Every structure is written in structure tokens, then in C-alpha cells.
């Protein structure tokens, strides 16, 4: 019997949960409404803002678990487009765009470099974007962008710095409008004097590159859509296949490993449930939700920053799917993806 190792995506999430302090927003779409177009442009602006302005500040990350609301303070700095996040316990993330490095009690690790995605779905296809009331975050004037569900309930609120376009705050909201995760700067300095020197990758640390896949190997599954999320990239790892999905505003990564799940090797703190007759375990992390399950010889780990209802809508068809059902991904061709 083959026993899958502790799911890699879950281990990764546990290491870099503090990276929620600097979320990356997907490419913006636009409807015909002028305000929706303005909101879309603001979303676009956040993507490149850190390339143009150095900054340093403190932020509070808040997330909800079965044990109640959790809080963490992190130090965030940016220089030349690179981002550095340091937690109170010394855990550190350095993100250079294409490459990400982690430091915990065991030292530095380079995260596997995934294929880059040139095209993401437009948020206007799934979300109604609009600007909200003006706001002030960490003493800086900001414009709020709200993404609403089809029933009008907000799913996400972003506070965009009026001067630089930096993302100063983000809230992810549940189906009743309750805040499920948030990050907000409490203080921030912007400009060349905000940070001294550069943010450099740790020396001697290797970041392996995942192999992009034009088709999925036998024994794995890759639905082209999952509850409104489109398959963007797929890649081969030494111990499995990683699929990256997006609905244009939120993202989800699905890691598949062949073997049987060793439930005892999973970390404590998860919640067991039954989805479509399949046992699952869910974890609520600062960076998003994580769900683990096994079916038909595959161990799945799914990580997403989506609200809980969107996450469930995406996960459920994958959990419940019959592996022998026809799949429409045979002709899917992986293009020359790259973040714009």
C-alpha cells in the first residue's frame, strides 16, 4: 500500500500563511458602467504599484477559525518590486514576483516556481465591481473597491491608496457579509526613505521549477472548470500534479498525489466533514482555506483565498466527481502563460 506523504500544499500553506499580508489581485475586467470600469482600473493598478514605490509598514492579519477570531501582526516592506513579510516569530517570506523564499525555524526554503499565467478570467464575469466610499487607512486616503455577488452581498473589499495604488487593506466576506479574513496596514511609510537597501533572496537557496504540462498524466484529474473557476495552469511536481484555477478575483490551487491518505500525519486543528460521501478535513489559515481528501487512489489538497461559499462551490464537484466520467480537458493546450 502506498501512503501519500503529508500533502505538500497543506505544508506550504502552513509555512506561508502570513503571506496573506500582501495579497495578489487578479487581472481586472470591466463592464460598460463607468464606475465598474473605474473599479477595474483600480484593481489593475494594485498589481504593479509595488514596482514603482518602495514602502515599509506594519499590518494586522485577521482570520476566523472554529476556535474564534485570530490575529497576527506582520512587518511588510517592498523595494524594487520585491516584497518581504516578517512575522512576530521570525518566519519570513520574500517574494520577487517569479520566485518566493520562506524562512522558519528550520531555515530558508525556495518555493517551487510554477508556470506563469498570462490570462486570467475577467472579474466582471463572476463579480459586480464598484467603488465604495472614500476611506483612510494608516493615515493615507484610499478608494474602496467592492466586489459583489449576484445577490448583492459583498465578497471582497479592497482599499487602494489614492497616491500610489498600493493595496492598503483587504477584506474577504462570507455569504452573509461577515468578514472571514482581512489584512490592514496600521502604519506605512512610502518612498525611497521608507526602506534602506534592497530585498535580496537568501544566498545558496534553490527554487526548483515545475514542469508545465500540455496534458495530464494517466491517473490524475484536471477538470477545466470548477464552480466558476477556470483551469489556468497545470504542472508536474516530483510527487504529484498541481492545478491552478481562477475566477478572475480569487484563486485556487489543487495538488494531487497518487496513493492513500495518512490521516494521522495531518496537523491538528482541522475540522472533519463529509462531502458527497467522502471524508474531508478543512483548515482555516490566514491566507485562505485548505481542504484535504482522498478518492480513487488520489490524495487532494486544495487551497483557496475565496470566501467560504465560493470555496465550497469549487471543491464540491471535484470531491463528488466520478473519475470515470468523461472530461473535457483532453484538448486543453497550455499556452505561453505569464503574469502580465
Report the pLDDT value the prediction gives residue 58, as an integer from 0 to 100. Answer: 94
pLDDT at position 320 is 78
Structural domains of the chain in order of their starting residue, each with its CATH number: 12-194 (2.50.20.10), 211-320 (3.40.1000.20)
pLDDT top residue among 167 and 320: 167
Contact between 287 and 15 (Cβ < 8 Å): no
Closest Cα to residue 154, out of 170, 134, 140, 135? 170
107-147 pLDDT, tens digit each? 999 988 888 776 777 777 788 999 998 999 999 999 999 99
Instruction: Report the DSSP pairing between strands 128-137 and 140-148.
Output: antiparallel
Give the pLDDT mean for 27-54: 81
* 50-98: pLDDT as tens digits: 889 999 999 998 999 888 999 989 999 999 889 998 988 888 989 888 8
Banded model confidence at residue 188, pLDDT cuts 50, 70, 90: very high
Q: pLDDT band for position 281 (50/70/90)?
A: very high
Q: What is the pLDDT of residues 214-263, one digit of tens each?
A: 889 999 999 998 888 999 999 998 889 999 999 888 889 999 999 999 99
Pair type for strands 278-285 and 271-275: antiparallel
Residues 6 or more apart in contact with residue 325 via CB below 8 angstroms: none
- The residue-averaged pLDDT of 183-191 equals 94
> What are the backbone angles phi and psi of residue 227, rounded to the nearest 5°?
55, 40
Return the H-helix or E-strand segment holding 74.
Answer: strand 68-79
Average pLDDT over every residue of 191-201: 85
Is the per-residue pLDDT at 32 higher than 70? no
Q: What are 335's three cell numbers?
A: 499556452
Q: Say what the pLDDT of residue 240 is.
A: 92
State the pLDDT at residue 280. 93
Average pLDDT over residues 293-315: 91
pLDDT, residue 261, reads 92
Nearest-angstrom CA–CA distance, 187 and 206: 33
The per-residue pLDDT for 57 is: 94
Please give the angle made by the CA atoms of 170, 172 and 176, to the nearest 5 degrees: 140
What pLDDT is attached to residue 162? 96
User: What is the predicted pLDDT for the residue at 129?
Assistant: 94
In whole angstroms, give the CA distance from residue 13 to residue 24: 15
Residue 205: its pLDDT value, please?
Answer: 93
Greater confidence (320 vs 262) lies with 262
- CA proximity to 180, closest of 25, 307, 16: 307
User: What confidence category does residue 193 fall into, taking pLDDT thresholds of 50, 70 and 90?
Assistant: confident
- Residues in the chain, total: 340
pLDDT of residue 189: 95
Amino acid at each position: 500500500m502506498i501512503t501519500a506523504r503529508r500533502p505538500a500544499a497543506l505544508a506550504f500553506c502552513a509555512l506561508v500563511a502570513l503571506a496573506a499580508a500582501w495579497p495578489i489581485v487578479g487581472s481586472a475586467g470591466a463592464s460598460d458602467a463607468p464606475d465598474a470600469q473605474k473599479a477595474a482600473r483600480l484593481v489593475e493598478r494594485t498589481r504593479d504599484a509595488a514596482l514603482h514605490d518602495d514602502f515599509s509598514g506594519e499590518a494586522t492579519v485577521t482570520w476566523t477559525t472554529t476556535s474564534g477570531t485570530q490575529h497576527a501582526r506582520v512587518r511588510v516592506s517592498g523595494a524594487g518590486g520585491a516584497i518581504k513579510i516578517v512575522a512576530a516569530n521570525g518566519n519570513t517570506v520574500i517574494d520577487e514576483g517569479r520566485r518566493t523564499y520562506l524562512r522558519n525555524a528550520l531555515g530558508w526554503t525556495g518555493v517551487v516556481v510554477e508556470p506563469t499565467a498570462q490570462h486570467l478570467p475577467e472579474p466582471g464575469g463572476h463579480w459586480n465591481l464598484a467603488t465604495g466610499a472614500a476611506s483612510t487607512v494608516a493615515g493615507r486616503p484610499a478608494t474602496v473597491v467592492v466586489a459583489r455577488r449576484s445577490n448583492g452581498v459583498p465578497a471582497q473589499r479592497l482599499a487602494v491608496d489614492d497616491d500610489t495604488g498600493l493595496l492598503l487593506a483587504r477584506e474577504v466576506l462570507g455569504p452573509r457579509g461577515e468578514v472571514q479574513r482581512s489584512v490592514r496596514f496600521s502604519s506605512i511609510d512610502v518612498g525611497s526613505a521608507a526602506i534602506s537597501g534592497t530585498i535580496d533572496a537568501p544566498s545558496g537557496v534553490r527554487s526548483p521549477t515545475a514542469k508545465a504540462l500540455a496534458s495530464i498524466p494517466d491517473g490524475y484529474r484536471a477538470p477545466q472548470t470548477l464552480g466558476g473557476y477556470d483551469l489556468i495552469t497545470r504542472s508536474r511536481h516530483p510527487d504529484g500534479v498541481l492545478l491552478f484555477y481562477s475566477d478572475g478575483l480569487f484563486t485556487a490551487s489543487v495538488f494531487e498525489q497518487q496513493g492513500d491518505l495518512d490521516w494521522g500525519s495531518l496537523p491538528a486543528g482541522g475540522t472533519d466533514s463529509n462531502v458527497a460521501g467522502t471524508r474531508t478535513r478543512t483548515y482555516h489559515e490566514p491566507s485562505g482555506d485548505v481542504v484535504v481528501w482522498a478518492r480513487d487512489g488520489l490524495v487532494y489538497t486544495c487551497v483557496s483565498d475565496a470566501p467560504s461559499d465560493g470555496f465550497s462551490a469549487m471543491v464540491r464537484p471535484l470531491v463528488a466527481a466520478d473519475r470515470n466520467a468523461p472530461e473535457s480537458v483532453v484538448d486543453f493546450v497550455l499556452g505561453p502563460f505569464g503574469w502580465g
